[in-house]
């Protein structure tokens, strides 16, 4: 891997703080650090709670995308899903309207401050809005125990679920809930058990999932993610981590290089941002996003620049993670 010097990284580093349309993952503002490499702009945006060792993998991905040309694309547009945060049922139509043309919705469930009854009401509202032909998948972010997941799956199965993403936290729990609910024929997808695991292939080797959700940044870049896809031997969906349009471009290039893409991808999340770093966001149009690089607008970089304290925090993090990669 090309390893630019810290001086090269700091020379173009810009830290932004973008407001969200709706609270998501417990935050109202998404922070990110953008860099410009020889191949174009790239993004370093591990969530604030991640330690340096985990965040350094995200920096490796950012360097890979900014300093190395991506693999040749197999497609130039990526079908994407709508993402529905843990909102009230009455808010569902407005959320879906931000994802024009999307035929699939991923619905967040299992939030710590909400009940199963609230999840059911939200999923029912999404099914009504999409109609019988729409696809509804759920994402629990590992928030249920096995028993809780089993109760939830039984309660939600009537809404014709495409799959259930990360219902429980561990590989062992995923294997158990998959076995308990096999007769319902609702596939189990692994996300955190791939991107946050010491061994991203463990979930496939354990037979704990029917498909994998892969993300370029937390897996160390496009090439590393493609290697995992090849070795896992399972169907995959490509997703994002609430990135700016610069980061979404990395995800789109990964999706463009995956040999088979059977699912609408989770790369439409620019629609969850109330502001972006470009006047032409990588947002869904007719249910898809194009595969292209994104160049930030200097005016927007200035407008949404993080304050001095947060900028200093991100630059110090960048320095520490760069030292881990080079060390």
User: What are 186-195's pLDDT values in tens digits?
Assistant: 999 999 999 8
Say whether 191 counts as a known binding-site residue: yes
Residue 47 lies in a domain: yes
Task: Work out the pLDDT band at 92, boundaries 50, 70, 90.
Answer: very high
Whether residue 280 is found in the same domain as residue 321: no
Tell me the C-alpha distance between 26 and 223, whole Å.
31
Decide if pLDDT at 111 tops 80: yes
Which helix or strand (DSSP H or E) is residue 23 part of? strand 14-24
CATH for 261: 3.20.20.120
Say whether 309 counts as a known binding-site residue: no
pLDDT value of position 199: 84
Residue 175 tokens, joined:
């294997």
233 DSSP β-pair partners: none
Rounded to the nearest 5°, which phi and psi values hold at 285? -135, 125
Length of the chain as a residue count? 327
Whether residue 126 is found in the same domain as residue 13: no
Pairing state of beta strands 288-290 and 236-238?
unpaired
Number of domains present in the structure of the chain: 2
Whether residue 67 is found in the same domain as residue 115: no
Residue 1 lies in a domain: no
Whether residue 63 is found in the same domain as residue 96: no
Whether residue 117 is found in the same domain as residue 33: no
CATH for 315: 3.30.390.10
pTM: 0.96
Compute the mean pLDDT over every residue in the chain, rounded to the nearest whole number: 96
13-54 per-position pLDDT tens digit: 999 999 999 888 788 999 999 999 999 999 999 999 999 999
Decide if pLDDT at 240 tops 90: yes
pLDDT value of position 173: 97
Residue 18 lies in a domain: yes
Q: Who contacts 205 (Cβ-Cβ below 8 Å, separation ≥6)?
A: none
Active-site choice (106, 195, 215, 317): 215
Active-site choice (14, 30, 108, 195): 108
Instruction: Tell me, yes or no, if 106 is annotated catalytic.
Output: no
Residue 215 lies in a domain: yes
Decide if pLDDT at 197 tops 80: no
Residue 65 lies in a domain: yes
Whether residue 90 is found in the same domain as residue 225: yes
Whether residue 154 is found in the same domain as residue 228: yes
Say whether 227 counts as a known binding-site residue: no
43 DSSP β-pair partners: 34
pLDDT value of position 196: 84
Look up the domain containing 39 and give its range: 6-71+298-326
């Amino acid at each position: 891997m090309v390893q630019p010097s810290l001086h090269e990284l700091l020379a173009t580093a810009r830290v932004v703080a973008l407001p969200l349309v709706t609270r998501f993952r417990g935050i109202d503002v998404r922070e990110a650090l953008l860099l410009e490499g020889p191949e174009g702009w790239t993004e370093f945006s591990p969530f604030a709670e991640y330690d340096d060792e985990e965040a350094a993998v995200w920096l490796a991905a950012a360097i890979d995308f900014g300093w190395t040309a991506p693999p040749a694309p197999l497609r130039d547009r990526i079908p994407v899903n709508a993402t529905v945060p843990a909102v009230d049922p009455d808010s569902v139509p407005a959320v879906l309207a931000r994802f024009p043309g999307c035929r699939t919705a991923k619905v967040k469930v299992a939030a710590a401050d909400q009940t199963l009854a609230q999840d059911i009401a939200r999923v029912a509202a999404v099914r009504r809005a999409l109609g019988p032909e729409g696809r509804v998948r759920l994402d629990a972010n590992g928030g249920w125990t096995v028993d809780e997941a089993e109760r939830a799956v039984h309660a939600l199965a009537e809404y014709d679920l495409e799959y259930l993403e990360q219902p429980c936290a561990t590989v062992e729990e995923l294997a158990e809930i998959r076995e308990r609910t096999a007769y319902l024929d609702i596939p189990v997808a692994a996300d955190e058990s791939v991107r946050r695991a010491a061994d991203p292939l463990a979930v496939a080797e354990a037979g704990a999932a029917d498909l994998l959700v892969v993300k370029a940044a937390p897996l160390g870049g496009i090439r590393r993610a493609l290697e995992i896809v090849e070795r896992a031997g399972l169907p995959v969906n490509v997703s994002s981590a609430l990135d700016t349009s610069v980061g979404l471009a990395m995800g789109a290039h990964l999706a463009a290089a995956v040999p088979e893409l059977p699912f609408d991808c989770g790369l439409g999340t620019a629609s969850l941002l109330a502001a972006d770093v470009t006047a032409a966001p990588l947002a869904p149009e007719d249910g898809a996003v194009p595969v292209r690089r994104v160049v930030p607008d200097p005016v927007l970089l200035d407008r949404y620049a993080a304050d001095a304290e947060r900028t200093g925090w991100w630059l110090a993090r960048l320095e520490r993670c760069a030292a881990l990669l080079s060390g």
